[in-house]
Amino acid sequence: MRIAGAGSAFPQHRYRQAAITAALQDIWREKLDNPEVLRRLHSRCGVDFRYMALPLEAYPAVDTFGKNNNAWIETAQEIGEDAICRAITPAGIEPDEIDALFFTSVTGICSPSVDARLVNRMKLQPSIKRLPIFGLGCVAGAAGIARAADYVRAFPDEVAVLLSVELCSLTWQRDDVSVANLISSGLFGDGAAAVVIAGSETRFPGPEVVATKSVFYPDSEDVMGWDVSERGFRIVLSPDVPNVITEHLRADVDEFLGERGMARSDIASWIVHTGGPKVLDAVQSALHLPREALAASWESLRSVGNLSSASVLLVLQDFLARRRGAPGTYSMLAAMGPGFCSELVLLRW
């Protein structure tokens, strides 16, 4: 199985972090005892710019779950189609040559799902196999690659596409001034990413998916996720996330590599989800990596924020475009998310 291409797309509305902070200070003016707290929290998120599904001035009027979700459905189709086209076109793949479509998002819902709507919108083949995934959150980019690789392992002459669309701004909760919500409003952005995973009997080159590993940590549901109500998605974000990474990630990676007679020293590069400064610091600490080893992740965080499941796919796209490994070298792609869990993908260039 090979990664044959990757592409990304964003809404047209791009703002500096300071502009988003100012807009939210205005929205929450009567609820915040000290508006400077929001500015201070946002300044620590490591984010310079973010894309938004809507113009900043439009958000006060989008005041129900239904309105937010309708905006999610519309925007998800637009940038989802764009991301897929940007992933398949350089590889010379036509839309009707996609055999399976995996779709992941945790910021909106619909039925028929977005992948079904894209079959109509993009004229994909009617026999395409679809797998919409909801609930995996930040880990879903890595998990989606792993599940798509499982698919093409079974059907080696076929091509699968993984699409992630996350529109985190459409989950903002206007009545929630908890620290978790204030931080998330400064950390998460909007965007889409797609990855092409091709079977071993296809003509497409790219880094090989050597192996994957899923690890679930029992009794950790309260670390990250959503509380879902008539108001929509309310963030669950524990300050223990970096501690969980520090406690588990090194052992998970070492066990995964040890099963193949390898060690961390055999990994030439690290393709890691951009969870936030504390998360990236925890990854560096757990794996004994210098900061420059995660330069692509830090850069993505600064440029667009944390895009939940799409983030690690953006970092992968950057590696494919600008940071390709030497032939025969290995990369580790990793993400963690609600469950709490981790997903590891070993790649060979």
* Residues annotated as catalytic (active site), given as ranges: 138
Q: At what angle do helices 277-287 and 241-258 cross, to 10 degrees?
A: 40
Q: Which of 317, 68, 34, 46 is nearest to 170 (CA)?
A: 68
Residues 6+ apart with CB under 8 A from 233: 106, 107, 171, 173, 226, 227
Torsion 280-5-211-347 (CA) sign: negative
Q: Which of 288, 334, 348 is nearest to 141 (CA)?
A: 334
Largest CA distance in the chain: 61
- Give SS3 for 323: coil
Residue 127 dihedral angles phi and psi, to the nearest 5°: -90, 5
- Which structure tokens are listed for 299? 């850069």
Is 134 buried (19+), middle (13-18) or exposed (0-12) by CB count in 10 A?
A: middle
